[in-house]
Structure 1
């Protein structure tokens, strides 16, 4: 039996820690990227990236996004710190109900900014709406390549006319291969692998850049953002 569901040969390398791999007490700190400082850098980077991308789309303007969705939302860190400020309504996709309970105690939920909440993993989520923004961050490393392509295809079909799919993930830049972690059953993909799967899903890259500003002392994996649109 193949113990590696990604059908990749595990690579024996000393890998820098991923943003999501640093442990903190639950519930709040467990879902922060690493520290409040790191979370702030992450959110500012996301906001700046999206602002650049939206200027590339005719008529998208600088006004608020009507409907967004936070996929793999956790306790709502990204929604609370970023998405709720640029979206009129944010739907939530999160498999852990305890995290959703924390999210419901947040300001965004209390202010009525949160729309529908889907308690399910992104590999099982089938969108039934048209979204102006689909935000997916630090959760696709739990999916196989096939599951990721299928997820991207479903998201592609759920985009509004000028909708954007944003993917933000750790990448493995040390080798030409993906890194499979048998301990937590996750995969850190190379940038080339992400591009291959994005293309297989019928999407094109509108813009891509690496998150900057992370403290070098932490020796974290590179974090890359992709803004995606249907290829045709």
Structure 2
């Protein structure tokens, strides 16, 4: 989903790890802390961190970090994972275990047999499931109550409003107590921009927040991705928790 702009992978990963670090304590053996808190000589990473625009609620500032005590190893689900770029560059650094769900059987095969082979063999990546998000189920499966975090990046634009709200509602069954949903998606300036070529839509910040409210999700924090070239859609990260 970087559209051939491979140079965006690092600022994307750095910003995602920094955003997650507000809510998640990474494993002791993780390299995430050195990325989130770069040494003084690392000017590029420091510039990305300093330039980030952040908005948060009082609840997010006082929220206990995941994983919660006595909840076991941390576990995250990467939704619309492709071959696992976000898993490899972000999520395995921030969590003990990662599961993936991806609609393309070709990408699933590549993730299992090539790109994430080492992570699967080590147990960092546990399950790679082939399914569209409109069909993925949590309740009554091994994914019920499994995840500290469900991470959705550059995939939700393929879901209609009805399917998106239904997906969010089902995600609640996949979360541990205190679990969260993170969304990282392109933002249109106004309304919804339809891409006829790939049958996707880019929602504005206002529309995203309407979707979250309709799905019974509370917005705890939002942040604009920095370090991307001008001329692209703005990218925004949202940290959400279910309203019960």
Class of the TM-score when normalised by the shorter of the 2 chains: 0.7 to 0.9
From 56, 73, 81, the counterpart of 2:81: 73
- Which residues of 2 match residues 110-129 of structure 1 at below 5 A? 110-127=121-138, 128=141, 129=144
- Return the TM-score normalized by structure 1: 0.79
Distance in 1 separating the partners of 2:73 and 2:203: 30
From 201, 207, 210, give the equivalent of 2:215.
201
Cα distance, 1:170–1:151 mapped onto 2, change above 3 Å: same
Superposed CA offset, 1:53-99 (max 9, x none): 34742253799961111010100001111111222111110111221
Give me the TM-score of the superposition, normalised by structure 2. 0.75
Separation of aligned partners in 1, 2:151 and 2:104? 18
CA distance in 2, matches of 1:155, 1:185: 23
Q: Which runs of 4+ in 1 moved over 6 A?
A: 61-64
Structure 2: 5+ residue stretches without partners = 25-59
Structure 1 stretches lacking a partner, 5+ long: 1-19, 25-33
1: distance between equivalents of 2:14 and 2:226? Answer: 10
> C-alpha root-mean-square deviation of aligned residues, in Å?
2.0
Is the CA contact 1:156–1:203 (under 8 Å) kept in the aligned structure 2?
no
Kindly provide the CA deviation profile for residues 114-139 of structure 1, in whole angstroms up to 9, marking residues without a partner as x: 11221001111012322101011000
1:7 aligns to what? none
Instruction: Report the count of equivalent residues.
Output: 198
State the alpha-carbon separation in 1 of the partners of residues 86 and 163 from structure 2: 23
Mapped pair 1:172 → 2:188: yes
Contact persistence 1:208–1:224 (CA under 8 A):
yes
Kept after mapping to 1: 8 A contact 2:66/2:74? no
Q: For 1:16-27, what aligned pairs fall within 5 Å after superposition? A: 20=1, 22=3, 24=4
